Structure 1
Amino acid sequence: MKENLQRLVNDLWKGSGLQRHFSGETTYRPQLAEKGHARTIVLFFIVVFIGTCVSVRWIDTSIISSGGVSLKALLTSSNSPEESEDEGFVIPLNCSQVNNLSQVCSTSFPATFPSGSFPTGATTKQCPHYFRWIHEDLRPWKESGITREMVERARTKSNFRLVLVDGRLYYEKYSSSFQTRDVFTLWGILQLLRRYPGRLPDFDIMFNCNDRPVIRSRDYEGPNATAPPPLFHYCGDDWTLDIVFPDWSFWGWPEINIKPWIPLLKDLKEGNQRIKWDKREPYAYWKGNPKVCKARQDLVRCNVTDKQDWNGRFYVQNWVRESRQGFKKSNLADQCTHRYKVYIEGAAWSVSEKYILACDSPTLLVTPHFYDFFTRSLLPGHHYWPIKDNDKCRSIKFAVDWGNKHKNQALAIGKAGSNFIQEELKMNNVYDYMFHLLSEYSKLLRYKPTIPPQAVELCSEVMACPAGGLKKVYMMESMVKGPTYRSPCMLPPPFDPPALEAFLKEKENSKTQVEKMERQFSDKIKN
């Protein structure tokens, strides 16, 4: 196990610019914490924090002076309004044992807490609409359930495997992913466990960090077909069965200087207020890498020339040059300068979609072929303006001309999109989505997860303590400070068939209405 943990640290940071600081003889003991041990850990942290006068905001002097320390009292003590929704109390990283790996994951953060420490009743807060897609993504296994054999069959398509046993996370790596996608995905799941310790059931998942979904539904159709292997991924489409999970960039993307979602969302909100919408450039804006797919290359051809103006202002992003120049021209908060912003997919779905939607500028969304965990609940004509993928130039020109003539309606679309991102996609909702998805997935397991022989225990200390550079900064910025005292939002029920059909029909009708307006506009020009 010692060699496995050493290999884990090497694998996570290899080629990522991070330096390892572990040294000395080590002994690794992956014992699982029992409830009594967890209670001791909690009381130990409280005593240490008070005895050493650690500055933590949740300590209430009236509680200390009374001679008794109540965990529930600490959880409900005074916080600022912003903190009270997300934090219960603070447990900092314990990197003091960095040279003694036997203690890195065993005592730094309790895997469970005493019963009754956190609310167990149902919350009255309803989850956003897009949580309903959890049921649809898991529907292929609703009848059959998920066996260990099914999970194992996804191994060849996975970058790693994660197993949660009694509140502790175990990791087995199969292949490297692009940049630090795997690192920050793992970090995000660890933060979920810090937020809701001991409240997630055991699970066993395979995860793919590549661009395109890979579990093709046609391979599992017919009378003799086997059940599909469950595989978690960042996006899906109508022809695959990958289980969609929030992407790594919510916790930061250091290779291109994109902050974690909480500070970035604040920056985007401030940047959105710098120029009023009607004072922005009256064109459609896009900036990105067109080399990744033909669709983006076609989009760049719609740029303004001395002979034709399709109302588009499109810019090629050279990430290598940007990196050398300190990312001075790629700050996302500085890009709410045009009245319209274009979203177009890359090799698959693109993480840029949430950043583009965050501006009050209406998003001109080129017909997508992929979806992530929240985009299926966006409505054309309400959250964004649909753009034809087979006639981009004319479609963009019409959208901009129409919006400039109907400013109030255009601005309403822009605000609906940005409000969705600012309100429905807050980080606590992202964590709750992860919580419900993993919980519902776990209910389908027909076996009790066990620790794989080659797996090693993973915790925030293993990842953050040896980290360096921007990766360390982003981990610290996105780290969950401690368990929250609130319950996750209430998961809405699955779509019933008529409701799902009606919702999809509404989306299609809205798109058709826009296309009809485009045709009428084109006919007027021809005549």
Structure 2
Amino acid sequence: MATYFHSVFLFWSQGAQFCGHFSKSIGKRWATITIFILSFVSIFLYWIWIQKSVITDIVTTPSPKKPPGQVDFPLNCSNLNLTLTCPTTCPVTIEKEESSPVACPEYTRWIHEDLRPWQSTGITRDMVESGRVYANFRFVIVKGKAYVEKYKGAYQTRDVFTIWGILQLLRLYPGKVPDLELMFWCGDETVIKKRDHQGLKATSVPPVFHYCKDDETLDIVFPDWSFWGWPEVNIKPWGTTLEALKEGNKKIKWKDRKAYAFWKGNPYVSKKRVELMKCNVSNKNDWNVRLYIQDWEKETKQGFKNSKLEDQCTHRYKIYIEGYTWSVSEKYILACNSMTLLLIPQYHDFFTRSLVPMQHYWPIKITNNTCRDLELAVEWGNYHTDKAQDIGEAGSKFIQENLKMDFVYDYMFHLLSEYSKLLKFEPTIPLGAHEVCSETMACQEGSKFWRIKNFMVESMVKSPRNRLPCTMPPPL
């Protein structure tokens, strides 16, 4: 820096002398212009010097050291040919510690319940094949590599990001996920009905993986696609969104938030939501509820400016209500520190079975008096602000601590491991299947693919974990 300022001083002094000698001949006006030019050049030289210093710092600053034994799995799109084949450079197995001191969240217990229909019979190949009529795709793991056989398209990119999520599990625990074959359904409605598998048929239940179930169905519950991103509505991968919600919670303190119950979404996917809209404020009634219709087509055109989830933590109370079946919105609503008014659902996903009413949320029955019940809940909360705030923060804490991506992956690992133990046949690669890996999915090009690719890169597991999955609790 001293050298720089010395150079600038000489530059200025010589320039001043030039102006002094020639001011009489060139005139004061031109001398002023010359001084202005000298000033501009000096500032420009200083900017160049700053840029050079910053670049030098970046180049010379050593990168942080990786933990001992950590191996990076970079996404390598440069060596792929037009058929997008998987590279062979990444190992399919890696040694890890033999035990984990971390206990899994309580909701992991439900894995045993979800697999109970096959505990006594095991799972035969015929059972798996019988699930084909329901499935969007078959997912196969053989010797650490993954293969997919597609049957029918799914809504938007649900199947794409579900497959992507399982591939990231394989990157996180290479060589640890056992061989298996499974059928996966990506729709909203549940498909394996208990009533269709009673008596003699109870020994031939098709094992079909899905995002939710209820008391009348036997679908095997699995984390939904939105944990890795929902590009069609610009909802980022869960790891990014969870951090954004943490910051969003800090913008407005709970007691400074609007003293109403808030909901925003698409009401036209279920009768329940249509009925809920009748509780909105009107000239006749104010049920302490503020409801807004989410127009995704309009939001898409406007660049999703008004649909950021972290900007919706502005009310003391937030409403959760199912869509056609369950809704992925539940985790976003619970994470907002607002007391969740949960309209008691029929369906559940993999983690909600561990939520406790009056501890993590306030339950609301769906009846003819739902509007009145919502009003009373808000009135109670505004009168008992400390207790209402505690419930809101407890629900948010549950999500922040128990639904981290580490635990989502561990749930997947234990579910697939327990499922594979039930298989009574050796998994093989189907004739119609093709190998899939992160490269075959994220290295595609095209104007319509850029957002999908960005979400994949953002949610990609970049290196294997240096410990085994959390310790699974015993059955209920």
Establish whether TM, by shorter chain, passes 0.5: yes
Q: 2:402 aligned with 1:408, yes or no? A: no
Counterpart of 1:365 in structure 2 is 342
Instruction: Tell me, yes or no, if the aligned pair for 2:121 and 2:203 is still in contact at 8 Å.
Output: no
Q: CA deviation at 1:74?
A: 3.1
SS of equivalent to 2:392: helix
The amino acid that maps onto 2:228 is W
Aligned match for 2:80, one of 77, 95, 98: 98
Counterpart of 1:455 in structure 2 is 433
Instruction: Tell me, yes or no, if the aligned pair for 2:183 and 2:208 is still in contact at 8 Å.
Output: yes
Q: Deviations over 1:172-218 (max 9, x none)?
A: 00000000000000110000000000001101000000001110011
Counterpart of 1:16 in structure 2 is none
Q: CA deviation at 1:109?
A: 2.3
Change (3 A) 1:136 1:97: same
Counterpart of 2:165 in structure 1 is 188
5 Å-filtered alignment, 1:152-231, equals: 152-223=129-200, 225-231=202-208
Q: How far apart in 1 are the matches of 2:422 and 2:176?
A: 17
Counterpart of 2:333 in structure 1 is 356
Q: How far apart in 2 are the matches of 1:338 and 1:231?
A: 39
Counterpart of 1:112 in structure 2 is 93
Change (3 A) 1:309 1:224: closer
Q: 2:261 aligned with 1:284, yes or no? A: yes
5 Å-filtered alignment, 1:470-481, equals: 470-481=451-462
Counterpart of 1:387 in structure 2 is 364
Alignment: residue pair count? 413
Q: How far apart in 2 are the matches of 1:422 and 1:335?
A: 17
SS of equivalent to 2:305: coil
Q: 2:310 aligned with 1:333, yes or no? A: yes
Instruction: Tell me, yes or no, if the aligned pair for 1:196 and 1:484 is still in contact at 8 Å.
Output: yes
Q: How far apart in 2 are the matches of 1:205 and 1:58?
A: 40
Change (3 A) 1:245 1:321: same
Length-normalised TM-score, structure 1 = 0.77
Q: How far apart in 2 are the matches of 1:494 and 1:56?
A: 48
User: Structure 1 stretches (4+) deviating beyond 6 angstroms?
Assistant: none
Counterpart of 2:287 in structure 1 is 310
Q: How far apart in 2 are the matches of 1:421 and 1:434?
A: 17
Instruction: Tell me, yes or no, if the aligned pair for 1:252 and 1:260 is still in contact at 8 Å.
Output: yes
Q: How far apart in 2 are the matches of 1:101 and 1:472?
A: 17
Q: How far apart in 2 are the matches of 1:225 and 1:374?
A: 26
Aligned match for 2:419, one of 426, 441, 451: 441
Aligned match for 2:68, one of 67, 74, 77: 74
Counterpart of 1:24 in structure 2 is none
Counterpart of 1:129 in structure 2 is 106
Q: Deviations over 1:262-311 (max 9, x none)?
A: 11100000001100000000000000001101100111100011211101
Q: How far apart in 2 are the matches of 1:378 and 1:436?
A: 20
Q: How far apart in 2 are the matches of 1:57 and 1:439?
A: 37
Q: Percent identity?
A: 59
Instruction: Tell me, yes or no, if the aligned pair for 1:211 and 1:348 is still in contact at 8 Å.
Output: yes
SS of equivalent to 2:262: strand
Q: How far apart in 2 are the matches of 1:125 and 1:195?
A: 16
Q: CA deviation at 1:392?
A: 1.4
Q: 2:469 aligned with 1:488, yes or no? A: yes
Point out where structure 1 has 5 or more consecutive residues left out of the alignment: 1-52, 61-72, 76-87, 496-527
Q: CA deviation at 1:123?
A: 1.3
Q: CA deviation at 1:226?
A: 3.9
The amino acid that maps onto 2:225 is W
The amino acid that maps onto 1:140 is P
The amino acid that maps onto 2:297 is V
The amino acid that maps onto 1:490 is T
The amino acid that maps onto 1:157 is Y
Q: Deviations over 1:69-98 (max 9, x none)?
A: xxxx732xxxxxxxxxxxx33221111122
Q: CA deviation at 1:59?
A: 5.1
Instruction: Tell me, yes or no, if the aligned pair for 1:56 and 1:90 is still in contact at 8 Å.
Output: no
The amino acid that maps onto 1:247 is D
Q: Deviations over 1:334-392 (max 9, x none)?
A: 00000000000000100000000001100000010000000011011000000111131
Length-normalised TM-score, structure 2 = 0.85
Q: How far apart in 2 are the matches of 1:355 and 1:427?
A: 14
Q: CA deviation at 1:227?
A: 2.0
Q: Deviations over 1:460-499 (max 9, x none)?
A: 000001153211111111000011111100011101xxxx
Counterpart of 1:23 in structure 2 is none
5 Å-filtered alignment, 1:231-250, equals: 231-250=208-227
Counterpart of 2:246 in structure 1 is 269
Instruction: Tell me, yes or no, if the aligned pair for 1:233 and 1:243 is still in contact at 8 Å.
Output: yes
The structure number with the bigger radius of gyration is: 2
The amino acid that maps onto 2:179 is D
Q: How far apart in 2 are the matches of 1:56 and 1:310?
A: 59
Q: How far apart in 1 are the matches of 2:356 and 2:201?
A: 38
Q: How far apart in 2 are the matches of 1:342 and 1:481?
A: 36
Q: CA deviation at 1:231?
A: 0.2
Q: Which moved more, 1:244-253 or 1:220-229?
A: 220-229
Q: 2:329 aligned with 1:345, yes or no? A: no
Instruction: Tell me, yes or no, if the aligned pair for 2:341 and 2:363 is still in contact at 8 Å.
Output: yes
SS of equivalent to 1:182: helix
RMSD: 1.6
SS of equivalent to 2:199: coil
Q: CA deviation at 1:108?
A: 4.0
Q: How far apart in 1 are the matches of 2:328 and 2:229?
A: 11
The amino acid that maps onto 2:328 is V
Q: How far apart in 1 are the matches of 2:104 and 2:203?
A: 34
Q: Deviations over 1:84-125 (max 9, x none)?
A: xxxx332211111222648x3141422223xxx311x22121
Q: How far apart in 1 are the matches of 2:440 and 2:335?
A: 34
Instruction: Tell me, yes or no, if the aligned pair for 2:230 and 2:236 is still in contact at 8 Å.
Output: yes
Q: How far apart in 1 are the matches of 2:133 and 2:62?
A: 46
